[in-house]
Every structure is written in C-alpha cells, then in structure tokens.
C-alpha cells in the first residue's frame, strides 16, 4: 500500500477517501525546503530559462529573421515557437511537480481552507491561460508579432478586459495553487520565483511589443501618404493630358474677324479684274481728272491756241 501511495501525487492522495497519507514527511522551520535535492535546482533553472529562451530568440527573430529564412516565412517561424515553447512549458511543469514531490510537506497548508484556496487559484489560473490562448489565437500567443504577423487590433475581450497580462498572471496562479495543494513550502518559493521572472520579462516584453506595433503603424501611415500623393499626381497628370488634347474653342470675336478677313481676301481680286474702282483706282482717277482740268485752264494752253489762230490768220492773208 505504501508503494501505491508513493506513486500517487500528494494533491490527489490527500482527497482520496480512506487513503493513508502517513507516508507524508512533514517539516518545520528551516527544514521546510530541502536545498540538497537537485530536482529543486533543476526546476528553478527551467522556470528561469523559459522566458529567457523566448525573449532572446524572439528579439533576434524580429531583427535578423533567421527562423523565417530556415522555415520559409513568418508562419513557419511562429509554428517553431509554438512547438518549442509549448514543449518547454510541459517540461517545466513536470520538473516543478517532481521537485515538490521530493520536498517536505508543511502541515499548515493541509488545512481544508488552504485546499479550497488552492483549487480556486489553480482553476482561475488555468481559465486565464486557456482563454488568453483562445482570444489571441495560436499565432498571437506564440510570438507571431515578432515574426511579422501582427494582429489587426488590440484584443479587449475576456480575460484581457479583466487583467493586463492574464496569461502570465494565470500561470503564476496555477503554480501557486499547485504549491498550496501539495502542501509544499518549496513550491511557494518556486511560485514566487515564477512571478519574479514573469515580472522582469514583462518589463522588457511590453515596451518591445509596443514598439513593434508603433513602427508598423508609422509604416502604414507613410504608405498611405505615399499612395495618396501618387494618386493625386496621377489624377493631375490625367487632367493635364486631357486639357492638352482637347482644342480650345476660339472666342466669337475671333470668328467674326476671321470671317471678315476671308471675305475681303476673296473680293479683292474680282474687283480689280472688273475694273471696279478700288481705293487705289479711285485715287488714280481723281488725279487724272484734276490734271485735265489744270491743262484746260492753264495759260500755256490758251497761248498755244491763240498762236495757232494767229498763224492761221497770217497764212490766210
């Protein structure tokens, strides 16, 4: 029977009716945490390693995109993060429970009130984690924005309308609930380490993620401004071409002047051919008439007439 109890996790064994839990080792004071157990240090190392892994690798992916080159795009890199982060999370949880199983129990946490608190913490924590993944989706949860797949808008549904970082908070709550359920002081210490590591990670993740979306918004604004400018220039060019290709309508005054000039050009040759008095002919005719009148009335003409008459008279004599 003792062998069966050793195989059953304490959090399950504590609530099986009639099961003997006398094999549990309880401690007090400084003996509540056994630092000589390697499983405790390995669990602490995995808790610290996981956030470092995805933060360092994700930032490098955002700047240099090595995973996108290897896996052929943003989606392949995101799936790589999903597989590795999810697997490391399962390994971390396994190492955590193994470490608690090798640590002494704290009798104080065996109170039914603490057991109920453990259930509430674990249940709410898992609810926050699962609903966060559901709200963000696989790509949003596993660093798709670091791989170039950005969400179109901020997620405001549950649990993000209750907590700013529900996934980290929920995970820490689940760790704490497990520690209380297992009556482990070492589990409380590891849960505190989980929260400290997450808090530090958020100090770096939050601003960096905000920077990614701010840069994307600036790039979109520049693209829209450039497209609007190109559209405006294209429209102006089309309007200019249309105005050049369409002949302008001459004013009515110009039409009348052109018609008068054409009429005058057509009438002038005919007038000259018919002998009609043109302005130049009228001047010439007027000069001829004046010249005739002058000759008729001039003294020379009279004298010549008298001389001719005298010579005729003398000849007749």
> Are 54 and 145 contacting, i.e. CB atoms less than 8 angstroms apart?
no
> Are 197 and 191 contacting, i.e. CB atoms less than 8 angstroms apart?
no
Instruction: Give dist(CA 53, CA 30) in Å, integer.
Output: 33
Do the annotations mark residue 205 as ligand-binding? yes
| 16, two tokens | 């099986």
Instruction: Give dist(CA 202, CA 198) in Å, integer.
Output: 6
Do the annotations mark residue 317 as ligand-binding? no
The radius of gyration of the chain from alpha carbons, rounded to an integer in Å, stands at 55
Do the annotations mark residue 177 as ligand-binding? no
Residue 93: name the closest of 129, 68, 60, 66 by CA.
129
Residue 49: name the closest of 233, 194, 170 by CA.
194
> Are 15 and 182 contacting, i.e. CB atoms less than 8 angstroms apart?
no
Instruction: Give dist(CA 95, CA 43) in Å, integer.
Output: 5
Do the annotations mark residue 89 as ligand-binding? no
> Are 46 and 95 contacting, i.e. CB atoms less than 8 angstroms apart?
yes
| End-to-end Cα separation, the chain, in angstroms | 200
Do the annotations mark residue 123 as ligand-binding? yes
Could you tell me if residue 73 is left (phi over 0), alpha (psi between -120 and 50 degrees) or otherwise beta?
left
Residue list, annotated binding site? 123-125, 205-206
Residue list, annotated binding site for S-adenosyl-L-methionine? 123-125, 205-206
């Amino acid at each position: 029977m003792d062998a069966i109890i050793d195989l059953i996790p304490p959090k399950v064994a504590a609530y099986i009716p009639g099961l003997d839990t006398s094999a549990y080792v309880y401690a007090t004071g400084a003996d509540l945490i056994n630092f000589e157990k390697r499983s405790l240090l390995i669990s602490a190392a995995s808790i610290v390693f996981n956030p470092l892994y995805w933060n360092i690798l994700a930032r490098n992916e955002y700047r240099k995109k090595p995973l996108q080159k290897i896996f052929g795009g943003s989606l392949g890199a995101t799936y790589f993060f999903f597989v590795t982060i999810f697997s490391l999370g399962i390994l971390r949880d396994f190492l955590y429970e193994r470490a608690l199983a090798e640590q002494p129990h704290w009798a104080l946490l065996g109170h039914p009130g603490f057991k109920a608190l453990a259930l509430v913490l674990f249940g709410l924590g898992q609810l926050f984690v699962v609903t966060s993944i559901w709200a963000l989706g696989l790509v949003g949860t596993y660093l798709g924005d670091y791989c170039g797949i950005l969400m179109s808008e901020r997620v405001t549904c549950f649990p993000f309308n209750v907590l700013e970082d529900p996934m980290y908070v929920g995970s820490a709550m689940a760790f704490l609930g497990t520690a209380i359920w297992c009556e482990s002081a070492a589990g409380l210490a590891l849960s505190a380490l989980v929260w400290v590591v997450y808090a530090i990670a958020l100090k770096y993740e939050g601003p960096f993620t905000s920077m990614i979306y701010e840069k994307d918004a600036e790039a979109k604004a520049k693209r829209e401004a450039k497209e609007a400018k190109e559209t405006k220039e294209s429209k102006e060019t089309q309007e200019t071409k249309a105005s050049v290709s369409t002949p302008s309508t001459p004013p009515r005054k110009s039409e009348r002047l052109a018609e008068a000039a054409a009429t005058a050009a057509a009438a002038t040759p005919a007038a000259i051919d018919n002998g009609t008095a043109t302005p130049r002919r009228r001047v010439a005719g007027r000069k001829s008439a004046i010249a005739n009148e002058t000759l008729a009335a001039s003294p020379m003409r009279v004298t010549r007439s008298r001389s001719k008459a005298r010579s005729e008279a003398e000849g007749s004599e």
